Amino acid sequence: MEKHWWHTATIYQIYPKSFMDSNGDGVGDLQGIISKLDYLEKLGITAIWLSPVYQSPMDDNGYDISDYEAIADIFGDMSDMEELIEQAHQRGIKIIMDLVVNHTSDEHAWFVEAKNNPHSEKRDFYIWRNEPNELVSTFSGSAWEFDEQSQQYYLHLFSKKQPDLNWENEVLRHKIYEMINFWVDKGIGGFRMDVIDLLGKLPDQLIKENGPKLHDYLKEMHQYTLAGKDLLTVGETWGATPEIAKRYSNPDEKELSMVFQFEHIGLQHKENRPKWEYIKELDVPALKMIFNKWQTELKLGEGWNSLFWNNHDLPRVLSIWGNTGEYREKSAKALAILLHLMRGTPYIYQGEEIGMTNYPFESLSELDDIESLNYAKEALDLGQSEAVIMDNIRMIGRDNARTPMQWNTEKNAGFSTSDETWLPVNPNFTLINVEEAVSNPNSIFYTYQKLVNLRKEKSWLIDADFELLETEDKVFAYRRYTDEESYLVVVNLSDEEQSFSIDVDYIEIIISNTDEAVIINNHCLAPWDAFCVKIR
Ligand code: GLC
């Protein structure tokens, strides 16, 4: 198998509005990110996935782009972006841009022209119909919006300010490829591709994901943009199965490096119910089956996994599956150890490395996210109580992951000097912040740092096979092995002691969040114990 830099990389996701504010307007920006590159270098990450920084009216915080080749004023300008790429490179860090090409903003020049002049070439860049059908938007309500001027409806699978692009139009596709090359020429390290599985949609047949032409488009995109360059590309694919993931990520297919699949995240929700109907208790046996399937089915050379607990659309993992009280640090380390020693490319979401948690939102007025606000409005109209709605948002709402990064114990956790920040700072910043984490050699930060370095140093993390071991329900144990070496990973995913009956004859402790005595006497695991040992 040909090895690429991203096989040994750990990626760090930055949500630009919330990372660091350099100019005191209460919103993070590119100069803010530049000022924190030394911190990221210390963590050891290989690349930053930057959520969108393009020009945008920010209806969906930048996932509604009005100019792909300009930077949003709130974040800075193109020279700041070039400086970020350059400064990051000097520290061995690549920049992965977020590529949002399923839709644009309704303020993008293409859509403005399409709307104003139904006879223009741009009209067919979008999807217009005389009658709406029952397709619904991810952000509540119909996916069709009526345009008075032309007396037609346009499709928007997200907000009405995010009209869907028509990938059947070849001229549009080549405009997108030109834009991709504009960024490749700037020296970026790759792309995270937003809702990429929607590109082949067939709205008349109510098909959104995995339309028949999806993979033709991705192969064409590869041919015109990525071919011959060693870029990391990761597609966001909510509905991927291992079979589908191989179509994207098998190197012979010439499409993408890897995809984000969300099957494990599916355990946070009731099956086939709205995402707001959450399940807090982690079904550990189900989690084991899911990871086992992905780890064994994406064989080396046939496909590649990405590994993540968090992103800007998900709750903070400690608040849903970890422990935010007594075992906060220990559960954070346990979850990290469990995930980062599997095969794939790990992603860390800003603040995960210091154990940040969900925000205690109390009222709708504290929220920003269009998805949560639309949901709340719809649910209130249906007569649901605000108490229930707020409970759901506190657990599942996307703003939980988006509150400002907690740097220190100063005003606004050191994120901004402004009197007001765009989202409130979590009041737990006095305890949970970067300054504290970096000064404490036993902090969650150093577990992440160690995992990031292991990924670079240990080739078995890429090559070794995966075997799930039989254990008590709440214990997740697996073996990674090659012809020459074998490693055991054991994690107690619960607040209770668990018995554990595998005899360990170990040579070396690779990483652990517990005492050596636990590993030797491994018949009883304390809450959230986790370790990896090299075994005979
Ligand atoms: C993806 C993004 C999400 C955004 C949506 C529409 O799911 O991760 O934040 O709202 O696409 O672009």
* Most informative mutation of 56, 140, 194 for ligand 1 (most atoms within 8 A of CB): 194
Same domain as 216, residue 284 = yes
Q: pLDDT per residue over 339-369, tens digit each?
A: 999 999 999 999 999 999 999 999 999 999 9
Residue 382 lies in a domain: no
Q: Left, alpha or beta for 281 (phi > 0: left; psi -120 to 50: alpha)?
A: beta
**Phi, then psi, of 90 in degrees rounded to 5:** -60, -20
Residue 347 lies in a domain: yes
Residue type at position 95: I
Same domain as 78, residue 150 = no
Any ligand 1 atom below 6 A from CB of 194: yes
Q: Which of 311, 452, 306, 446 is nearest to 13 (CA)?
A: 311
Residue 87 lies in a domain: yes
Instruction: Quote the domain boundaries for residue 412.
Output: 5-102+170-359+403-451
Are 131 and 153 in contact by the 8 Å Cβ rule? The answer is yes
Q: Determine the Cα–Cα distance for residues 480 and 535; give it in Å rounded to an integer.
A: 10
Dump the DSSP string for 380-408: HHTT--HHHHHHHHHHH-GGGGTSPP--S
Length of the chain counted residue by residue? 536
3-state secondary structure of 165: strand
Same domain as 207, residue 130 = no
Q: Which of 451, 482, 509 is the last residue of a domain?
A: 451
Same domain as 334, residue 480 = no
Q: pLDDT per residue over 118-153, tens digit each?
A: 999 999 999 999 999 999 999 999 999 999 999 999
Q: Which of 451, 485, 513 is the last residue of a domain?
A: 451
Any ligand 1 atom below 6 A from CB of 196: no
Any ligand 1 atom below 6 A from CB of 307: no
Same domain as 296, residue 250 = yes
Sequence-distant contacts of 108-114: CB under 8 A, at least 24 apart: 108/65, 108/66, 108/67, 109/66, 109/67, 110/172, 111/163
Q: Determine the Cα–Cα distance for residues 528 and 65; give it in Å rounded to an integer.
A: 42
Q: pLDDT per residue over 168-222, tens digit each?
A: 999 999 999 999 999 999 999 999 999 999 999 999 999 999 999 999 999 999 9
Residue 460 lies in a domain: no
The tally of domains found in the chain comes to 3
Exposure string over 308-328, b if 16+ CB within 10 A, otherwise e:
bbbbbbbbbbbbbbbbbeebb
Same domain as 293, residue 315 = yes
Q: Residue 197: count other Cβ atoms within 10 Å of its Cβ.
A: 23
CA of 36 to the centre of ligand 1 (A): 25
Identify the band that residue 165 occupies on the pLDDT scale cut at 50, 70 and 90: very high
Identify the band that residue 515 occupies on the pLDDT scale cut at 50, 70 and 90: confident
Which CATH number characterizes residue 120's domain? 3.90.400.10
pLDDT at 501: 82
pLDDT at 158: 98
Which CATH number characterizes residue 233's domain? 3.20.20.80
Residue 428 lies in a domain: yes
Q: Determine the Cα–Cα distance for residues 101 and 164; give it in Å rounded to an integer.
A: 9
Average pLDDT estimate for 395-418:
98
Identify the band that residue 514 occupies on the pLDDT scale cut at 50, 70 and 90: very high
**Phi, then psi, of 62 in degrees rounded to 5:** 95, -10
Measuring from atom 9 of ligand 1, which residue has the nearest CA? 313
Same domain as 249, residue 303 = yes
Identify the band that residue 522 occupies on the pLDDT scale cut at 50, 70 and 90: low
Active-site residue, selected from the candidate residues 21, 29, 145, 194: 194
The count of C-alpha atoms lying within 13 angstroms of the C-alpha of 341, restricted to the half-sphere facing its C-beta, is: 31
3-state secondary structure of 433: coil
Same domain as 179, residue 70 = yes
Residue type at position 31: Q
Active-site residue, selected from the candidate residues 106, 145, 164, 236: 236
The answer to which of 83-92, 307-316, 384-393, 517-526 has the lowest mean pLDDT is: 517-526
Any ligand 1 atom below 6 A from CB of 197: no
Same domain as 135, residue 270 = no
Q: Which of 252, 322, 233 is nearest to 281 (CA)?
A: 322
Same domain as 119, residue 19 = no
> Distance from CA of residue 531 to its chain's centroid?
25
Residue 164 lies in a domain: no
Question: Which tokens sit at 116?
Answer: 């104003």
Same domain as 527, residue 512 = yes
Any ligand 1 atom below 6 A from CB of 60: yes
Q: Which of 425, 451, 477 is the last residue of a domain?
A: 451
Residue 390 lies in a domain: no
Q: Name the burial class of residue 457, with classes exposed (0-12), middle (13-18) and buried (19+) by CB atoms within 10 angstroms of its CB.
A: exposed
Which CATH number characterizes residue 484's domain? 2.60.40.1180
The reply to whether 419 belongs to the active site is no
Instruction: Indicate if the alpha-carbon torsion angle 49, 55, 59, 63 is positive or negative.
Output: negative
The reply to whether 124 belongs to the active site is no
Residue 396 lies in a domain: no
Instruction: Indicate if the alpha-carbon torsion angle 322, 408, 368, 34 is positive or negative.
Output: negative
Dump the DSSP string for 475-514: EEEEEEE-SS-EEEEEEE-SSS-EE------EEEEEEESS
Same domain as 310, residue 427 = yes
